[in-house]
């Protein structure tokens, strides 16, 4: 199993540009989520999904869109990049959002918005 | 409000000495508690969890954690630290989020093990 994969590893955007961060998992996990990690802020949940076709907002959803058309994929879209979105983004998956299941994390995407 | 606190930004310990990384929580109901580790430029890795049962939980890489309900704590411990244990450690607790659940994360504790 590849686990959770994320592409790209690094990205530089100009303010106002859009892009999609890709996330895929091959463990047949129901639950997938996107976090951003900023110094001194810990991990903050952006969006999550409890299954194909079902998504919901986390604590910092503004400026980001998600969709979940398949169990495997959970892309994160930045509609109009802003310098405040400079961060490291992690995708994670687990068996379920309701049980005490551990999350599996991807390697992260380091995004810089200039 | 439901929350997780890691009171120490950084912990320094000499190799071979025992280490403790502290975590306290405030949630309603019975907590599901987790510890994760993040090595430099890597994603987080699961270490261990407490759901129910024995208050002492054993996990990966020789780590263990003790659940203390009266003190609402879930401290991470290891009897003998290794230089390779140097990393960022996160405590998390599962909370209700409408019909689903989500994790609330502590801000992390940077562990430095000195040779």
Closest CA–CA distance from residue A4 to any residue of chain B (Å): 10
- Parallel, antiparallel or unpaired: strands B44-50 and B109-114: unpaired
Task: Tell me what the pLDDT averaged over chain A comes to.
Answer: 93
| Percent of the residues in chain A that have a pLDDT greater than 90, as a whole number | 86
pLDDT band at B31 (very low <50, low <70, confident <90, very high): confident
- Parallel, antiparallel or unpaired: strands A87-94 and A109-113: antiparallel
**Is pLDDT above 70 for B100?**
no
Q: What is the mean pLDDT of residues A54-58?
A: 92
Is B88 near chain A, with CB under 8 Å? no
| CB-CB under 8 Å, B46 with A104 | yes
| Percent of the residues in chain A that have a pLDDT greater than 70, as a whole number | 96
Per-residue confidence (pLDDT) for residue B22, from 0 to 100: 98
pLDDT digits 0-9 by tens, A2-21? 899 999 999 999 999 999 99
Cα A61 versus chain centre, distance: 11
**Is pLDDT above 70 for A98?**
no
Query: Per CATH, is B3-114 categorized as 3.40.30.10?
Result: no
Residue B51: left if φ>0, alpha if ψ -120 to 50, beta else—which one? Answer: alpha
Is B69 near chain A, with CB under 8 Å? no
Residue B37 pairs in a beta bridge with B45, B89
**C-alpha distances in Å from residue A34, one per residue of A23, A37, A53, B102:** 9, 10, 16, 12
Q: What is the mean pLDDT of residues B57-82?
A: 96
Q: What is the mean pLDDT of residues A30-40?
A: 93
Residue-wise DSSP of B35-49 = EEEE-TTS-EEEEEE
pLDDT band at A97 (very low <50, low <70, confident <90, very high): low
**C-alpha distances in Å from residue A60, one per residue of A36, A43, A57, A67, B57:** 9, 11, 8, 16, 32
Is B1 near chain A, with CB under 8 Å? no
**Phi, psi dihedrals of residue B63, rounded to the nearest 5°:** -80, 155
For residue A77, give both structure tokens.
């879209």
| Cα–Cα distance for residue pair B115/B113, rounded to 1 Å | 7
Q: What is the mean pLDDT of residues A43-67?
A: 94
Closest CA–CA distance from residue B61 to any residue of chain A (Å): 16
**C-alpha distances in Å from residue A71, one per residue of A28, A53, A54, B21, B50:** 7, 9, 10, 36, 27
Pick the closest to residue B38 from B92, B85, B75 (CA basis): B85
Is B94 near chain A, with CB under 8 Å? yes
pLDDT digits 0-9 by tens, A85-95? 999 999 999 98
Per-residue confidence (pLDDT) for residue B103, from 0 to 100: 85
**Is pLDDT above 90 for B29?**
no
pLDDT digits 0-9 by tens, B43-52? 899 999 998 8
Pick the closest to residue B37 from B84, B95, B96 (CA basis): B84
Per-residue confidence (pLDDT) for residue A99, from 0 to 100: 67
Closest CA–CA distance from residue B1 to any residue of chain A (Å): 14
Per-residue confidence (pLDDT) for residue A54, from 0 to 100: 93
| CB-CB under 8 Å, B98 with A42 | no
Query: Between B55 and B30, whose confidence is greater?
Result: B55
**Would you list the domain boundaries of chain B?**
3-114
Per-residue confidence (pLDDT) for residue B97, from 0 to 100: 64
Question: In chain B, what residues touch A104 (CB-CB under 8 Å)?
Answer: 46
């Amino acid at each position: 199993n590849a686990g959770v994969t994320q592409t790209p590893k690094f990205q530089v955007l100009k303010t106002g540009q859009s892009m999609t961060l890709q996330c895929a998992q091959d463990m047949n996990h129901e639950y997938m989520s996107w976090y951003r990690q900023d110094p001194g802020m810990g991990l903050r949940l952006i969006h999550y999904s409890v299954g194909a076709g079902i998504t919901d907002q986390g604590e910092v959803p503004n400026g980001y869109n998600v969709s979940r058309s398949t169990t495997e994929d959970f892309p994160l879209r930045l509609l109009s990049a802003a310098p405040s979105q400079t961060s490291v983004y992690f995708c994670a998956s687990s068996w379920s959002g309701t049980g005490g299941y551990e999350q599996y994390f991807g390697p992260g995407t380091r995004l810089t918005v200039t | 409000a439901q929350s997780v606190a890691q009171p120490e930004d950084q912990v320094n310990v000499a190799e071979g000495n025992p280490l403790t990384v502290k975590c306290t929580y405030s949630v309603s109901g019975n907590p599901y508690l987790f510890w994760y580790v993040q090595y430099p430029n890597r994603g987080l890795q699961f270490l261990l969890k407490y759901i129910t049962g024995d208050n002492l939980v054993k996990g990966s890489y020789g780590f263990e954690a003790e659940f203390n309900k009266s003190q609402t704590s879930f401290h991470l411990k290891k009897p003998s630290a290794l230089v390779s244990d140097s990393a960022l450690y996160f405590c998390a607790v599962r909370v209700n989020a409408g019909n689903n659940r989500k994790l609330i994360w502590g801000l992390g504790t940077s562990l430095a093990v000195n040779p």
